């Protein structure tokens, strides 16, 4: 039912660094995964190295057989700071979930933080603030924070594109709070390693962060620090953003089916409603891009997930229905989606 340490250790991995030169008894292990991020990887590593803490921490970089210069850059940093940096790679690409897992089983810290190679931390006291929070709230399993989203402008400069964070600021978040929303970006969290075991399906789903948050919430409340601690890049090279909307919908259904079964269907109604709303958002994006054909398919798929309840307010549902199936009347009536 769960992935064993042996299975994680069997994932192809070669470690550069390690041994007696490593920092002793790190309290935090930072998992930094990267693939084809040579444009961004230095900016991901530097803020981790700049963390101001009164406790030791280590950085495990999982380089997944990039085809650019990412590995070369990571090696430069590992040699500069062999005391804290452990570089794990292999001659084969193992994929995101196994990349995380082969680092996870090698982590020595009680707490684990994450960053992907195209994102970065924006506060030099990120780890200190989150460790302090979890030390003071010993029953909490994890804590997150706000993340700034950035995108490239026409001049290729990076500009703000909003934020990633919960829609409601609560003292604590439970499973039912985390199912409907993607509350925290992966780069913003810190969790207690001892609480987590990966279910056997973990390697088969499209993402690692959302199920990980729910696994944490199962073990204890999740906290939130209402500050911006990290930055998430939106760019064409992003794996998820490049997927087609129908593919995203199918991957989402698969993920939540595993989650539903894992929790013995205790949150079945909420999960079905959540999946419906996620697919509904993809249908809306198709409408905005002019892809009505895919939009209609996603609309029907959304209905199948949540019938007889509608995934949106009735008036909005009617507008979308007319726009998808009766575009002439939609334009005639000048309805706005």
Report the pLDDT value the prediction gives residue 326, as an integer from 0 to 100. Answer: 61
Report the pLDDT value the prediction gives residue 184, as an integer from 0 to 100. Answer: 96
Kind and range of the H or E element at 229? strand 222-234
Per-residue model confidence as pLDDT tens digits over 33-44: 999 999 999 999
Cβ contact 86:78 at 8 Å = yes
pTM: 0.89
CA separation for the pair 58, 127 (Å, rounded): 12
Q: Which residue's entry shows tokens 């895919």?
A: 294
CA separation for the pair 71, 285 (Å, rounded): 36
Q: What pLDDT band is residue 233 in, cutting at 50, 70 and 90? A: very high
Kind and range of the H or E element at 287? helix 268-289
For the cut 90, the answer to whether the pLDDT of residue 132 exceeds it is: yes
Per-residue model confidence as pLDDT tens digits over 213-231: 999 999 999 999 999 999 9
Per-residue model confidence as pLDDT tens digits over 145-162: 999 999 988 878 899 999
CA separation for the pair 221, 239 (Å, rounded): 30
Q: Which residue's entry shows tokens 């909420």?
A: 270
Q: Using a pLDDT cut of 70, give the percent of the chain over it.
A: 88
Mean pLDDT of the region 198-215: 96
CA separation for the pair 165, 85 (Å, rounded): 29
Report the pLDDT value the prediction gives residue 163, as an integer from 0 to 100. Answer: 95
Per-residue model confidence as pLDDT tens digits over 117-130: 999 999 999 999 99
For the cut 90, the answer to whether the pLDDT of residue 327 exceeds it is: no
Residue 44's closest CA among 116, 99, 125, 104? 116
For the cut 70, the answer to whether the pLDDT of residue 312 exceeds it is: no
Cβ contact 184:145 at 8 Å = yes
Q: Enter the tokens of residue 144.
A: 């997150």
The CATH classification number of 5-234 equals 3.90.550.10
The segment(s) of the chain belonging to CATH 3.90.550.10 are: 5-234
């Amino acid at each position: 039912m769960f992935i064993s340490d042996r299975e994680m250790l069997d994932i192809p991995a070669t470690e550069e660094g390690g041994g007696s030169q490593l920092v002793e008894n790190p309290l935090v292990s930072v998992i930094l995964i990267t693939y084809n991020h040579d444009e961004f990887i230095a900016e991901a590593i530097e803020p981790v190295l700049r963390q101001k803490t009164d406790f030791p921490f280590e950085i495990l970089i999982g380089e997944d057989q990039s085809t650019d210069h990412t590995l070369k850059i990571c090696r430069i940093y590992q040699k500069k700071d062999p005391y804290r940096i452990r570089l794990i790679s292999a001659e084969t690409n193992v994929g995101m979930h196994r990349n995380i897992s082969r680092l996870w089983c090698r982590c020595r810290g009680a707490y684990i933080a994450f960053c992907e190679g195209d994102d970065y931390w924006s506060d030099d006291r990120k780890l200190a603030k989150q460790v302090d929070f979890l030390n003071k709230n010993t029953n909490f399993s994890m804590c997150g924070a706000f993340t700034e989203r950035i995108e490239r402008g026409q001049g290729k400069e990076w500009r703000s594109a909003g934020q990633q964070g919960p829609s409601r600021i609560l003292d604590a978040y439970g499973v039912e709070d985390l199912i409907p929303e993607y509350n925290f970006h992966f780069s913003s969290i810190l969790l207690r390693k001892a609480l987590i075991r990966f279910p056997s399906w973990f390697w088969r789903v499209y993402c690692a962060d959302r199920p990980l948050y729910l696994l944490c919430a199962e073990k204890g409340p999740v906290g939130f620090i209402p500050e911006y601690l990290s930055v998430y890049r939106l760019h064409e090279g992003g794996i998820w953003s490049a997927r087609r909307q129908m593919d995203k919908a199918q991957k989402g259904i698969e993920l939540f089916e595993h989650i539903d079964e894992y929790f013995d269907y205790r949150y079945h109604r909420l999960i079905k409603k959540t999946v419906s709303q996620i697919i509904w958002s993809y249908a809306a994006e198709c409408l905005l891009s002019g892809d009505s054909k895919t939009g209609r398919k996603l609309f029907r798929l959304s209905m199948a997930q949540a019938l007889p309840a509608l995934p949106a307010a009735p008036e909005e549902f009617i507008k979308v229905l007319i726009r998808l199936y009766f575009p002439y009347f939609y334009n005639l009536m000048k309805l706005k989606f």
